[in-house]
A and B are shown apart, each in its own frame.
Chain A
């Protein structure tokens, strides 16, 4: 069992948890993820390692409540325990040698982008962060990003915070302003990553995206997480989750992620019914 040592709500739909997992904390690198099961009959879901403390032996996850399992996860509190917590899985993000980087985060994807921005900052790279949210209430990790970025731009869809518009608008402005990036790292909803990759392709800037297909084992055993990258089949859990954004077939990935939509909707409603009653 893996104990929740700290929990807080970051916004109405996103929470933060620090989990006691010394083995994983010792090995974790930015870009890697864990798979958890909330309880004995739970499904296995992947979440990125948002932060880790090797000394304390804890791993931080930041999750958006989107469905039944994240809802159930969020019903737990400090002192409770998770049934299973396995990792660190996937290949760490490549940050070596990068000197000037634009880190683009969308929504809860910011939680995945943050440890990478932090690592880049610690290795003395120039980091420009562009983070986007639907609206002011959903903004997360602003202070954290500010602390590791040479420039931070916040965008909201409705203009209630930062400037109104999409992250791609801001990235375009940065590039047009003459910024030269070794790489753009984009993490967020599939559509966002698709459009960032489309933009950077025009300018010929190498772009890395973090893919989040539906996973089960996370060890390369089932093939459920497969993606088409440069015409080849890749398993995101062992070959990724980071891939060259100019080679990923985003349309296929978007379709695949909707495979169980009806089932998920039904279970989410059932979970809401269960946990909101209390």
Chain B
């Protein structure tokens, strides 16, 4: 008899007033009992509607059945067939708009907590697995992957499993992409990313860090060096600024810079060699996941007051609901329908305030969202000493400018064939944020997977 409770097993979390002062993981994960109890809520639907919501098509009911049977390693095997980073996806996937929104249990009550179960299984495997990885039989072909983010790592993992000799070239000193420089420790512990990457290395994936492709080697040179195909997973790129006065004052960061200092360069740890401002009052401009992460990091670094400043209303915020709720619980103050017009500085050119204007929602714009319009005479100043701009990114031109015949769209994103990930250059595939603009981990992984299949077919049929 399935568990007919209308509610998910709640996720155990650190208390808000405790966690907003540390960088330890917020969500603590299910116990075995909770996991099995939650798995009992799954009806094992024949037509598997949930699977259609997962970009990498994990056989969700199959892994959940194994959880029910308490055969957690078998559950892991099911996950492993479709995803190479289950511990990551279980934590950061926007499940509520993907797999879980298709779950029949969600019609009346809450859907099955698919993400939480995925995380549980992946964590269980990490803690209990003692088997050495099976090294696939080499097939004698070489493939290069540019960028060690989720798209590149997935593509590399899938190709390695097929016997390809895969080398991942990563610009930074550490592999992981946004998983290591963007998403903070308290949402995705770096040890988890590191272990997932160790698993890839164990099956033969080579990772060369400190290799900026387009500078040290071009794509053409990769082909000259014997790589038969190339996958580009170089990510979303350069931060945007608002172009308002005062944006170059000291104390104005892009979210990328702020998060890179905190996460990749460990500025949150005592004695770190990389500096970060000791901000007292922080305004984060934007309403996405990135903005929530920046705000919550600022709070944890000791800021007394942290604002989210967003020009539309809360309903339009692109951030995951869970992240917004967590941020609010932690004391982040939301200033919605508010738009910055100028950042002001003191005589030493440090930020000392941000001029804002109130907005109201007008008619829906091209994106279907109601566009905000300024309310006349509603200016006010927020008392802040740090401003973090989190209003999006535009693609890095480095690869585009050094690769002849690689077509990009008017935004600078690489153009690919929907079905295969093939670019305008023979043998060159691309996926993830470099193609779509900033999106999600699982979409990037899905693109890496698809490209791996296409690359395999391309090389076999050459």
Prevailing SS type, chain A contact patch: mixed
Q: Are B248's CB and A224's CB within 8 A? A: no
Q: Are B273's CB and A222's CB within 8 A? A: no
Q: Which of B248, B251, B254 has the most CB of A within 10 A?
A: B248
A42 in contact (CB, < 8 A) = yes
Q: Are A223's CB and B241's CB within 8 A? A: yes
A27 in contact (CB, < 8 A) = yes
Q: Are A219's CB and B210's CB within 8 A? A: no
Q: List 13 A-B contacts (CB under 8 A).
A: A84-B173, A88-B215, A89-B215, A217-B260, A219-B398, A221-B238, A221-B256, A222-B260, A255-B250, A258-B250, A259-B250, A259-B275, A264-B275
Q: Which of B244-297 contact A (CB under 8 A)?
A: 247-248, 250-251, 253-254, 256-257, 260-261, 265-266, 272-275, 277
B438 in contact (CB, < 8 A) = no
User: Smallest distance from the beta carbon of A118 to chain B beta carbons, Å?
Assistant: 22
Q: Are B237's CB and A216's CB within 8 A? A: no
- 6 nearest interchain CB pairs? A222-B257, A86-B210, A260-B275, A263-B275, A223-B254, A255-B349
A44 in contact (CB, < 8 A) = yes
Q: A89-B215, A217-B171 known; A43 and B265 CB under 8 Å?
A: yes
Q: Which of A253-278 contact B (CB under 8 A)?
A: 255-256, 258-260, 263-264, 267
Q: Which of B327-348 contact A (CB under 8 A)?
A: 348
User: Smallest distance from the beta carbon of A60 to chain B beta carbons, Å?
Assistant: 17
Q: A23-B216, A263-B275 known; A221 and B173 CB under 8 Å?
A: no
Q: A86-B171, A252-B248, A264-B275 known; A224 and B254 CB under 8 Å?
A: yes
Q: Are A220's CB and B396's CB within 8 A? A: yes
User: Smallest distance from the beta carbon of A269 to chain B beta carbons, Å?
Assistant: 14
Residue numbers of B with Cβ under 8 A of A are 171-173, 181, 209-212, 215-217, 235, 237-239, 241, 243, 247-248, 250-251, 253-254, 256-257, 260-261, 265-266, 272-275, 277, 348-349, 396-398
Q: Are B212's CB and A219's CB within 8 A? A: yes
User: Smallest distance from the beta carbon of B399 to chain A beta carbons, Å?
Assistant: 11
* Distance between Cα atoms of A216 and B254 in the complex (Å): 12
Q: Pick the contact of A223 from B238, B277, B397 — CB < 8 Å? A: B238
* Distance between Cα atoms of A212 and B416 in the complex (Å): 37
User: Smallest distance from the beta carbon of A37 to chain B beta carbons, Å?
Assistant: 6
Q: Which of A84, A224, A264 has the most CB of B within 10 A?
A: A224
Please name the residue on chain A nearest to B269 by beta carbon.
A41
Q: A84-B209, A86-B173 known; A223 and B273 CB under 8 Å?
A: no
A63 in contact (CB, < 8 A) = no
A83 in contact (CB, < 8 A) = yes
Q: Are B216's CB and A224's CB within 8 A? A: no
What residues of chain B lie closer than 8 Å to A216, measured between beta carbons?
257, 260-261, 265, 274
Q: Are B273's CB and A256's CB within 8 A? A: no
A11 in contact (CB, < 8 A) = no
Q: Are B215's CB and A220's CB within 8 A? A: no
**Given A23-B216, A86-B212, A221-B235, 7 extra CB contacts under 8 A:** A27-B216, A37-B173, A44-B265, A221-B237, A224-B254, A238-B397, A260-B275
Number of interface residues, chain A, beta carbon within 8 A: 40
Q: Pick the contact of B210 from A41, A68, A85, A227 — CB < 8 Å? A: A85
User: Smallest distance from the beta carbon of B398 to chain A beta carbons, Å?
Assistant: 7
* Distance between Cα atoms of A87 and B212 in the complex (Å): 7
* Distance between Cα atoms of A248 and B275 in the complex (Å): 26
What residues of chain A lie closer than 8 Å to B247, measured between beta carbons?
233
Q: Which of A139-181 contact B (CB under 8 A)?
A: none
What residues of chain B lie closer than 8 Å to A43, measured between beta carbons?
265, 273-275
Q: Are B239's CB and A222's CB within 8 A? A: yes
Q: Are A41's CB and B272's CB within 8 A? A: yes
User: Smallest distance from the beta carbon of B41 to chain A beta carbons, Å?
Assistant: 42
What residues of chain A lie closer than 8 Å to B253, measured between beta carbons?
224
Q: Are A223's CB and B217's CB within 8 A? A: no
Q: Are B216's CB and A88's CB within 8 A? A: yes
Q: Are A223's CB and B256's CB within 8 A? A: yes
Q: Are B209's CB and A256's CB within 8 A? A: no
Q: A23-B216, A89-B215, A256-B250 known; A217 and B241 CB under 8 Å?
A: no
A24 in contact (CB, < 8 A) = yes
Q: Are A256's CB and B217's CB within 8 A? A: no
Q: Pick the contact of B248 from A68, A233, A258 — CB < 8 Å? A: A233
Q: Are A222's CB and B216's CB within 8 A? A: no
Q: Which of A37, A220, A226 has the most CB of B within 10 A?
A: A220
Q: A26-68: contact bitstring with B at CB < 8 Å (1 yes, 0 no)?
A: 0100000000010001111000000000000000000000001
A200 in contact (CB, < 8 A) = no
* Distance between Cα atoms of A83 and B173 in the complex (Å): 9
What residues of chain B lie closer than 8 Å to A263, measured between beta carbons?
275
Q: Pick the contact of A224 from B243, B251, B257, B396 — CB < 8 Å? A: B257
* Distance between Cα atoms of A263 and B243 in the complex (Å): 29
Please name the residue on chain B nearest to A233 by beta carbon.
B241
Please name the residue on chain A nearest to B261 by beta carbon.
A216
Q: Are A223's CB and B239's CB within 8 A? A: yes
* Distance between Cα atoms of A27 and B214 in the complex (Å): 11
Q: Which of A173-199 contact B (CB under 8 A)?
A: none
User: Smallest distance from the beta carbon of A26 to chain B beta carbons, Å?
Assistant: 8
What residues of chain A lie closer than 8 Å to B257, measured between beta carbons?
216, 222-224
What residues of chain B lie closer than 8 Å to A13, measured between beta carbons?
none
What residues of chain B lie closer than 8 Å to A233, measured between beta carbons?
241, 243, 247-248
Q: A23-B217, A41-B266, A86-B212 known; A267 and B273 CB under 8 Å?
A: yes
A235 in contact (CB, < 8 A) = yes
